[in-house]
Chains A and B, each alone.
Chain A
């Protein structure tokens, strides 16, 4: 019998006996194949391996080990794995130590005999790296290799394998992930914060060197046996990013972009700009987890929509509300005590870092660390519950801006930018190279704005905001020297502020500061550039009402101004002036006054008797005097500011309208309403001529004029003005802007004064509805709208409704204002009156 014949026989016998029991099989075979014991044995043993027939060909058992084997084969470039003994650059592979999302990790040691060093050598898997990744690696490696910090796993080396796959050699860290290590050692909250602060140090160090980590998470922080945390994989996520050529990202691309969805920030998920604020957010997630025991973001399924929902929209719960018994015992305490420790300041610190909008988080990792240190020492922290949806714009007086570019033509924009860059050149060293750089900045900006000129580049008309957005985009991809970049960033940042939109300016100005820091570190003679950038950033913070930050930045700027060599009294004076503005907003008027005075001297000494800065300082001083002394004390200062401004060339009289307006307010305070009115009209004409009829500066003057008119008892006139102003406010700021509520209340008041209660009532209701909708429940402006309506109702004799409204107003006012504040007491008084009017 040939093999084949025998095989066929085995097969047919097999199928006969396979479904019988083992004993029955034996019997059957003995009976049917008596002559061939070997054959019987063969078939019997085969049948023994056949199983019970339920394991048919489509049964899962066939899938068995193969998926695992295939995975092994295809895993992380396993087909081209490195083997022990392989050489990569000047490293020798010792063994594989693991496989991660990015690729395979090997333990390697230095093989060029120079010194013993061990590294974790990461080979990035083929699919993850783009075609020119190796080239980009080389460029970025210098920066990453320059990160030297006790809590950062250093990048030692890197390159590309023959097949193009990039590799990195990192300091080998033998440790456990941060949260695991803390749990294993049962560290309490204080101990965890201490470790976390070291991590913050590491990230802050990298930020100073312009490296953003982009992928901070517990797995990337290993704690050694000695308890030292080390941060891994700095900036590697950026190296692996596929370079997108301006197409809108597709769903898949978003998946690729986000390394770990559970630890991603909203801007990463949306594919927006990643900045140092992104790392702040990630640190917030990390802090959340090591404090409370669970992750802040729970991404169970990985569909794009779900990730977006969780990361971009869902507000995180407070860490103290997420405490579990397991978490408490891993921290050596009880759930109650743990919650109490976390509640309040620590909660707020974490939540501040986790704000969805980058500009509302801590401005830097240092700020986050600082607040934690304050917590540790029992000092008050700067983190606050999220409250005001609207910053204190209305309560602050108008201030002088270097640029105001709302609603102007591109040509005017160019003119303004030119002025700014001219200033840049004037204020820095006169070295030729600096002047050249200023020119570079100017021509870049010119090119941006020329795009907006319909003559030069036809297309749909671009608003000023669009122009700036484009400019910001262009800068991001521009390959310019750091100093030039910084200058451009500052120019665009200032322009945003001029538009009244500080939020987009923040990342630009922060980057400008970072770039300038680097420049100054390498070339102390260029410190003036850093001062300028700090000054711009500080002013931006002031504008958004972030007074503590503004103070900190301006203080630093002031210090740097003092240290400038050759000495720069103009810079010193500017910083004094700006710190003064912060003090003013903080209500510390005496100090503000002193600072403005000193600034004025400095300006006069450095720029002579006629210069915009002098007018600014005078106007600021005047405001302080108005507030502290009242009456006519400030009037001469106001007038001097105007005089100085009028002595300037027309193109530099940028704030004439503001000074005229301020003088008008002063005269209103003195009761000289006619003169005030004339000045206001002049201010409006000036603003309209320079900034366009729809500029917000004109609108503000309208508001003041309306108030003035109302005060003169001319309710009709006031109504006319307000009805003119309202649609422009709505158009400019949007129908849901709080200023609209403010003016609606004003309009309601003058309408009521003219004896049209029904109309007034509906206007008040509109104002109240809007205020409730767009303002937070502790915002004094909301209280104002409610109060105005309450007062109206009181005067209309509708006592019960008035009491309800005033009660609501009081509640809001108490939440947002300190006790004893005049406004709060005013409402209290009204309520007492309303209650008392009921009699008995």
Chain B
């Protein structure tokens, strides 16, 4: 991406902050394209020990898309968009892979099948996505917090600035949201519950 795109992105960000939904849609599609391009470019120069991280990609897409001199809040907003986009990408992919499993023959060995016991990372992503959506419906702020942290890789300070809350709040939000998600995604037995009835 050349830098001539960055004033446009900045403008979209500002419009979005000003409340324009259309700006958000455009932003998302630009970011999506950019993330794919970044991933492809990173893979092109992949060295044997290179590992991709979702959060690294988001940062890289930011650098490429946006002028670094834009106001700090806009940067955070960019990440908010990018995180959500990243989540969408992963979920789309997971769905496709799950369909694959049901479709033709058994999918062969891939590099990351050891992530989960049942052997499919796609299932975990989808479960996470679903649980996260449920969390967001009860507590939107926690939902966005998790998205920014997990998919965008922002730290507590940055999250606080995006959402307009104190760092301590962010930390407490994350702690509870994580506990809740873990419970949702596990089989329900807590690791450190005392024996006996509550």
Chain A interfacial positions (CB closer than 8 Å to B): 3-4, 7, 11, 14-15, 18, 22-23, 25-26, 29, 37, 40-41, 44-51, 53, 55-58, 62-63, 65-79, 81, 83-85, 93-99, 101, 107, 125-128, 252, 255-256, 302
A23-B194, A79-B93, A302-B47 as given contacts; A62 in contact with B175, CB under 8 Å: no
A62-B149, A96-B108 as given contacts; A74 in contact with B57, CB under 8 Å: yes
**Is the Cβ of A85 less than 8 Å from the Cβ of B103?**
yes
Q: Which residue of A lies closest to B48 (CB)?
A: A101
Which B38-59 residues have C-beta < 8 A from chain A?
Answer: 39-48, 51-55, 57
Chain B interfacial positions (CB closer than 8 Å to A): 36, 39-48, 51-55, 57, 86, 89-90, 92-94, 96-97, 99-100, 103-112, 115-116, 121-122, 124-125, 138-139, 149-151, 155-156, 170-172, 174-176, 178-180, 182-183, 186, 188, 190-194, 198
**Is the Cβ of B172 less than 8 Å from the Cβ of A84?**
no
**Is the Cβ of B183 less than 8 Å from the Cβ of A46?**
yes
A56-B171, A76-B43, A127-B43 as given contacts; A45 in contact with B103, CB under 8 Å: no
Query: In the complex, which of the residues B92, B97, B172, B178 has the most CB atoms of chain A within 10 Å of its own CB atom?
Result: B178
Q: How far is the CA of A3 from the CA of B174 in the complex (A)?
A: 20
B100 neighbours in A (Cβ, 8 Å): 81, 83-84
A44-B198, A50-B179 as given contacts; A58 in contact with B156, CB under 8 Å: yes
Q: List 13 A-B contacts (CB under 8 A).
A: A22-B193, A41-B198, A45-B183, A45-B190, A66-B54, A66-B150, A70-B52, A79-B93, A83-B99, A84-B100, A84-B104, A93-B104, A96-B107
A41-B198, A45-B193, A74-B52 as given contacts; A127 in contact with B93, CB under 8 Å: no
**Is the Cβ of A99 less than 8 Å from the Cβ of B111?**
yes
B40 neighbours in A (Cβ, 8 Å): 77, 125-127
**Is the Cβ of A69 less than 8 Å from the Cβ of B194?**
no
Q: Which residue of B lies closest to A43 (CB)?
A: B198
Q: Which 7 A-B pairs have the closest CB atoms?
A: A48-B190, A127-B44, A70-B54, A84-B104, A85-B104, A127-B40, A95-B108
A40 neighbours in B (Cβ, 8 Å): 198
**Is the Cβ of B124 less than 8 Å from the Cβ of A75?**
no
CB distance from B115 to the nearest CB of A (A): 5
**Is the Cβ of A69 less than 8 Å from the Cβ of B155?**
no
CB distance from A284 to the nearest CB of B (A): 22
Q: How far is the CA of A57 from the CA of B155 in the complex (A)?
A: 8
Extra A-B contacts (16), CB below 8 Å, given A72-B122, A76-B43: A15-B176, A18-B175, A22-B194, A25-B194, A48-B193, A50-B178, A65-B124, A66-B54, A70-B53, A70-B54, A71-B112, A79-B36, A94-B105, A96-B108, A97-B108, A107-B108
Q: How far is the CA of A93 from the CA of B41 in the complex (A)?
A: 26
A26-B198, A49-B190, A127-B44 as given contacts; A72 in contact with B108, CB under 8 Å: no
A22-B193, A101-B48 as given contacts; A95 in contact with B107, CB under 8 Å: yes
CB distance from B187 to the nearest CB of A (A): 12
**Is the Cβ of A125 less than 8 Å from the Cβ of B103?**
no
Query: In the complex, which of the residues A40, A79, A93, A127 has the most CB atoms of chain B within 10 Å of its own CB atom?
Result: A127
A55 neighbours in B (Cβ, 8 Å): 178
A37-B198, A73-B90, A256-B45 as given contacts; A48 in contact with B192, CB under 8 Å: yes
Partner of B115, one of A48, A57, A68, A96: A68
CB distance from B33 to the nearest CB of A (A): 12
**Is the Cβ of B39 less than 8 Å from the Cβ of A74?**
yes
A84-B104, A85-B104, A125-B40 as given contacts; A63 in contact with B175, CB under 8 Å: no
Q: Which residue of B lies closest to A85 (CB)?
A: B104
**Is the Cβ of A14 less than 8 Å from the Cβ of B193?**
no
CB distance from B74 to the nearest CB of A (A): 23
A48 neighbours in B (Cβ, 8 Å): 190-193
A57-B175, A97-B108, A107-B108 as given contacts; A69 in contact with B198, CB under 8 Å: no
Partner of B110, one of A26, A67, A99: A99
**Is the Cβ of B44 less than 8 Å from the Cβ of A50?**
no
Q: How far is the CA of A15 from the CA of B172 in the complex (A)?
A: 8
Partner of B53, one of A67, A76, A81: A67
**Is the Cβ of A81 less than 8 Å from the Cβ of B96?**
yes
**Is the Cβ of A62 less than 8 Å from the Cβ of B179?**
no
**Is the Cβ of A73 less than 8 Å from the Cβ of B194?**
no
B194 neighbours in A (Cβ, 8 Å): 22-23, 25-26
Partner of A73, one of B55, B89, B179, B193: B89
**Is the Cβ of A65 less than 8 Å from the Cβ of B121?**
yes
A73-B93, A99-B111 as given contacts; A67 in contact with B103, CB under 8 Å: no
A3-B138, A65-B115, A128-B44 as given contacts; A53 in contact with B108, CB under 8 Å: no
Q: Which residue of B lies closest to A65 (CB)?
A: B115
A15 neighbours in B (Cβ, 8 Å): 172, 176
**Is the Cβ of B198 less than 8 Å from the Cβ of A84?**
no
Q: Which residue of B lies closest to A30 (CB)?
A: B198
Q: How far is the CA of A101 from the CA of B150 in the complex (A)?
A: 28
**Is the Cβ of B41 less than 8 Å from the Cβ of A56?**
no
Q: Which residue of B lies closest to A104 (CB)?
A: B110
Partner of A57, one of B54, B111, B170: B170
CB distance from B52 to the nearest CB of A (A): 4
A67-B54, A84-B105, A95-B105 as given contacts; A7 in contact with B139, CB under 8 Å: yes
A57 neighbours in B (Cβ, 8 Å): 149, 155-156, 170-171, 174-175
CB distance from B109 to the nearest CB of A (A): 8
A7 neighbours in B (Cβ, 8 Å): 138-139
**Is the Cβ of B121 less than 8 Å from the Cβ of A72?**
yes
B111 neighbours in A (Cβ, 8 Å): 71-72, 75, 99
Partner of B105, one of A25, A65, A85, A128: A85
**Is the Cβ of B155 less than 8 Å from the Cβ of A58?**
yes
A58 neighbours in B (Cβ, 8 Å): 155-156
Q: How far is the CA of A608 from the CA of B150 in the complex (A)?
A: 90
A81 neighbours in B (Cβ, 8 Å): 96-97, 100
